[in-house]
Copies of this chain bind each other. A is one copy, B any other.
Amino acid sequence: MKFNIAVLPGDGIGPEITQQSVKVLRAVADRFDHEFKFEEAKVGAIAIDQLGDPLPAATLELCKNSDAVLFGAIGDPKYDNDPSAKVRPEQGLLKLRKELGLFANIRPVRAYDSLIHKSPLKPENIEGADMVIFRELTGGIYFGEKSTAEDGRSASDLCTYSIEEIERVAHLAFKAAEDRRNKLTLVDKANVLETSRLWRKTVTEIAKAYPSVKVDYLFVDNAAMQMILNPKQFDVILTENMFGDIISDEASVIGGSIGLLESASVGTENALFEPIHGSYPQAAGKGIANPVASVLSAAMLLDHLGLKKEAETVRMAVELSIKLNVCTKDINTDNHYSTERVGDFLESVI
């Protein structure tokens, strides 16, 4: 089969990890006789530096016309410490999510048996943990009206949600729960927020259409605690944009390294695949970044294209690399492999 894949390496370690995924995808194409056409475009800080825009029109166009987008990472500390910067790399990613209509961000989290000792959590607390977080991605406080008073002495961000926005991501989450262990936990702050109460009402309503799925409700503060106390209780977690951002980064400690966690962002027309880690600028160019999160994102991309066997092959390659300890130093502290050598290994076993 033939597919167009847009590749947006972005900033920091983005390019070096994405390169490994492209290598792996090429190996998949070879082995399974597909044709993947990769086309690269700029996004984030590098796009600002070179083109003055964190999401140049050509990049957006390329993504819209692709079958899937492989995304690296964005962000640069020079913008983080300049609160008055008008143009920031993150705007590129946020605009891309919005323009492509990527309303659901799907983040699987699991504890690999062979890495269980890497986690700051006790093995008995995480052994067998296996969940998927469905984070709403194009609404909430990320996209509501922002303003700063003329005198610069106050600011505001508006969090809004409509029933439609809640429903479409909720349906995806309920369907996933049906295919998994039939449990869904809504994380909200319904004791304080009006938007959370709308989430709770809407999800309670939708639940009726999925009678096999048991629904739990957790306040976000409690959820942040439960995630560490007893992560095994979770199957599918459904939550709004900002809570999902926080909870899913927190959940990464279960896997032992944030360098392992992939994500898919999907809409009705488009789909984008990216590691949940950021641009990690301190590591850029040093060959120490873990490419696994990006490679597993590429596996989700294959799933999305309907190439299930191919996706499984990539996942098996990753599991093998972890079992054999062919890992970057976040995981293999004794005898670590470079980003590229991990990529080479994965390519070689496809």
Contacts and interface: CB of A to CB of B under 8 A. Distances in A.
Interface of A: 75, 79-81, 83-84, 88, 90, 94, 120-122, 125, 141-142, 144, 146-148, 153-164, 189-195, 197-198, 200-201, 204, 217, 219-222, 224-225, 227-230, 242-243, 245-250, 252-253, 258, 278
Contact of A158 (B156, B189, B190): B156
Contacts of A229: 120, 253
Contacts of A83: 190, 197-198, 200-201, 204
B221 A75 contact: no
A237 to B, nearest CB: 14
A238 B243 CA distance: 19
CB-CB nearest 10 A-B residue pairs: A221-B249, A83-B197, A224-B250, A154-B162, A146-B194, A155-B198, A156-B160, A155-B194, A228-B253, A83-B200
B246 A221 contact: yes
B225 A249 contact: yes
Contacts of A142: 192
A82 B88 CA distance: 41
Q: How many monomers of this chain does the complex have?
A: 2
Nearest to A200: B83
A258 B192 CA distance: 21
A154 B163 contact: yes
Given A120-B125, A141-B193, A153-B163, A225 B253 contact: yes
A195 B193 CA distance: 17
A81 B247 CA distance: 22
A32 B84 CA distance: 54
A278 B83 CA distance: 36
A124 to B, nearest CB: 9
A198 B148 contact: yes
29 contacts: A75-B191, A80-B190, A80-B217, A83-B198, A83-B200, A84-B201, A88-B191, A90-B192, A94-B192, A121-B121, A141-B192, A147-B194, A153-B162, A153-B163, A154-B160, A154-B161, A154-B162, A154-B198, A155-B160, A155-B194, A156-B160, A157-B159, A157-B193, A157-B194, A220-B246, A221-B248, A221-B250, A224-B249, A246-B246
A228 B122 CA distance: 12
Nearest to A188: B83
A161 B193 CA distance: 17
A246 B247 CA distance: 9
Contacts of A81: 200, 217
A168 to B, nearest CB: 14
A228 B201 contact: no
Contacts of A141: 141, 159, 192-193
Given A84-B197, A147-B194, A224-B224, 18 more contacts: A80-B190, A83-B198, A84-B201, A146-B193, A153-B162, A155-B194, A155-B195, A156-B161, A157-B158, A159-B159, A189-B242, A221-B248, A222-B278, A224-B247, A224-B249, A225-B250, A225-B252, A250-B250
